Amino acid sequence: MALVILPSCPGKVRTAIFGLIGRSPIGGEMPLRLETDGAAIVRGFLSRRAYSHIAEIVGNAFAFLDAGGGDAALRENWISVGTIWLTNLEHCVAPKPARELVTLLSRANRRLGSSYLAADICSIRRLTDWHRGLHWHTDYHGGGTAHYDPCFNIWLPLTAVGREQPSIELVRGSHRRMRELTPSETGIFTDEWVAEHFPPTDRIAPELEPRDALIFDHSTLHRTQPLQRETVSRRSIECRVTRHPAYLALEQARSPRIRMMRQLGKLAYFLAWVRRGMPPK
């Protein structure tokens, strides 16, 4: 099912995330909300400029690894699952572009309102064999994101997905129930288990273009969309953000706006003191 959603429109994105329009299985329009559906799509989430810069940095990192670069740990992750952790990017490209990618992702995620980019659980992925796709899981139980709760995955395809290349398949509305059901020991759920607990009509595998974002709650059940082929070629970024108060406080402390407000406060205090003609304490 293709879910459509908002054209690129920065001013609308904040509200859009929590109240998007999707297509129902019977073809009509229906609201798709991160809060109630555990997932949302934002068309044109990345600006053209940000996207082409991100794609270039990611392409250079992949070329470095393809040419045999990287230490054993980096290569093992790359060869087994096609993943580079964002925090390891500086070992694949120069420190400057590695920092730039973090800045670009942090800036993009500000479009969600208050949130903090959890860089240590973000990753860049190249999928070349469908059999290496991930099975049903939640990031909360299977992806080590629990202590970032509330946390969201902003999944950014750098390749068009949902037709020729696998998208993410997710179970709409599963984020609430998954918090109540007994977690699996491995973090993975079988297809039979999913079929037993959720109706097939709640499954969504959206068609997405590069620059779009699929945003989902870390308790939403999801997997790599199955395709009838082994060889695929897909690039994507798993950009995870948190709204945990402790991280929001960190983000605020770093925010240039908040820093400026503090400076203005100090200035106002100083001017009031000058006006009263009182000596400094």
Q: Which residue ranges make up the site for ligand AKG (CB under 6 A)?
A: 125, 133-134, 139, 143, 153, 155, 168, 222, 224, 236, 238
Of the two residues 181 and 188, which places its CB atom closer to ligand AKG in the complex?
188
In whole angstroms, the minimum distance from the beta carbon of 225 to ligand AKG comes to 7
Residue-wise DSSP of 127-191:
EEEGGGS--SB-HHHHSS-GGG-SEEEEEEESS-BSSSS--EEEETTHHHHTTTSPPPSSS---H
Of the two residues 48 and 229, which places its CB atom closer to ligand AKG in the complex?
229
In whole angstroms, the minimum distance from the beta carbon of 221 to ligand AKG comes to 10
**Beta strands of the chain (E only): which ranges?**
20-23, 29-32, 39-42, 83-85, 116-117, 123-129, 151-157, 168-171, 203-204, 213-217, 222-224, 231-242
Of the two residues 12 and 179, which places its CB atom closer to ligand AKG in the complex?
179
In whole angstroms, the minimum distance from the beta carbon of 266 to ligand AKG comes to 43
For tokens 């810069």, name the residue.
53
In whole angstroms, the minimum distance from the beta carbon of 250 to ligand AKG comes to 23
φ, ψ of residue 48 to 5 degrees: the values are -60, -40
216-239 burial by CB neighbour count: b if 16+ within 10 A, else e?
bbbbbbbbbbebeeeebebbbbbb
For residues 87 and 102, the answer to whether their CB atoms sit within 8 Å is no
In whole angstroms, the minimum distance from the beta carbon of 166 to ligand AKG comes to 6
Of the two residues 17 and 205, which places its CB atom closer to ligand AKG in the complex?
205
Taking the alpha carbons at both ends of the chain, their separation in whole angstroms is 68
Of the two residues 194 and 274, which places its CB atom closer to ligand AKG in the complex?
194
Of the two residues 141 and 222, which places its CB atom closer to ligand AKG in the complex?
222
In whole angstroms, the minimum distance from the beta carbon of 16 to ligand AKG comes to 21
Q: Which position's Cβ is nearest ligand AKG?
A: 224
